[in-house]
Amino acid sequence: MTDSSKKIPLSLLDLVAVREGGTVAEALQTCVTTAQHVENLGFKRYWLAEHHNMSGIASSATAVLVGHIAGKTTTLRVGSGGIMLPNHAPLVVAEAFGTLAELYPGRIDLGLGRAPGTDQPTMRALRRNRVESEADFPREVSELQQLLAAPQAGQRIVATPGAGTNVPIWLLGSSLFSAQLAAERGLPYAFASHFAPRLLLQALQVYRRAFKPSPTLSQPYVIIGVPLIAAEQDDEAEFLASSVYQRVLGILTGQRGKLPPPMADFAQGLNPQAQAAINDFLAAAVIGSPSTVARGLQELLTLTQADELMLVCDIYDPGLRLRSLEIAAQVAGA
């Protein structure tokens, strides 16, 4: 797919989907099995996303799950994609990820998001009566950077564990705000094109043009999210993707639920407005046979010049999900 002298790293973002007819315990075990599988395939990272009060997603205790996956693997970088900073005091995040960094040196990433990852009542339940403003996020990122760095003389609050671990911080986003902030701070940037691709190219342009080298990073580094459904044939992949189509429609209509089994001709039965909305949501998706997937990934790389692809692969049958990731690794030369 790519020049053999520059293989594009593949990584996986896992929402730890709870399947219809399945349990949270089964979803967590599937997460472990998947992480071990992609490690064997040569994937670089395995990130977990924080969401709350959603029956179909089992990754709410993100730091706990990061530690569990890191303990079940040996070479993968494991991290958050991301921790939703409005939900947490920076000191708590620094201590949690500092502990993980001490347990698994050189393998932990801390991706940070600016959204709450849930509804307002749940956000209030997480942080009680604290009200976030847009200005809080840059300040709290700075606080986290300080807490994870070597302590300064006279520093009154020291994260223990955490201080001196320098856990890599990534800024995540689906708008221009985090792109600009990541550029100003010289931090790596991950764009959430797996669900909000509309501003992808504009955000990457902002990030690269405004990037200022830092002790953390000498030049821009970009990850893009890519929904992936790969199978032996295009029509099989399209059938498997109907689980994602159903879930996206549920998100768009406020009817979130567990990951449903695939349904033949699901998309064809929708009205044009619903089809268009799903297509917009999944505009960066790559769905198809090995040759189709190879072509789709290459087109995304050509378009974005991304440094790394973060796949999101939600297939109802866990075994077919593993096969889908194998196909991606084969065509990408991971």
pLDDT computed for residue 120 by the predictor: 64
Task: Please say if the pLDDT value at position 135 is more than 80.
Answer: no
On the question of pLDDT at 157 being above 90, the answer is yes
E strands along the chain, which residues? 10-14, 45-48, 77-84, 108-113, 169-173, 189-191, 222-230, 286-288, 308-312
pLDDT-based confidence at 333, cuts 50/70/90?
Answer: confident
Stretch 13-38: mean pLDDT, rounded?
Answer: 98
Go through the domains of the chain in sequence order and give each one's CATH number.
10-332 (3.20.20.30)
Q: What is the pTM of this model?
A: 0.93
Q: Which two tokens stand for residue 278?
A: 């799903």
Lowest pLDDT segment from 93-97, 126-130, 311-315: 126-130
pLDDT reading at 119 higher than 70: no
Tokens representing 243 are: 């689980």
Backbone angles phi, psi at 225, to 5 degrees: -85, 135
The confidence score (pLDDT) of residue 5 equals 41
pLDDT for residue 267: 87
Region 281-288 average pLDDT: 97
Place of tokens 């606080």: 143
Cα separation, 294 vs 256, in Å, equals 31
Q: Report how far apart, in Å, the C-alpha atoms of 330 and of each of 38, 50, 93, 297 are.
A: 12, 29, 36, 12
Torsion 86-254-54-113 (CA) sign: negative
82-97 confidence digits (pLDDT tens): 999 888 999 999 999 9
Length of the chain counted residue by residue: 334
Does residue 2 have a pLDDT over 60?
no
Integer Cα distance of 191 and 131 in angstroms: 25
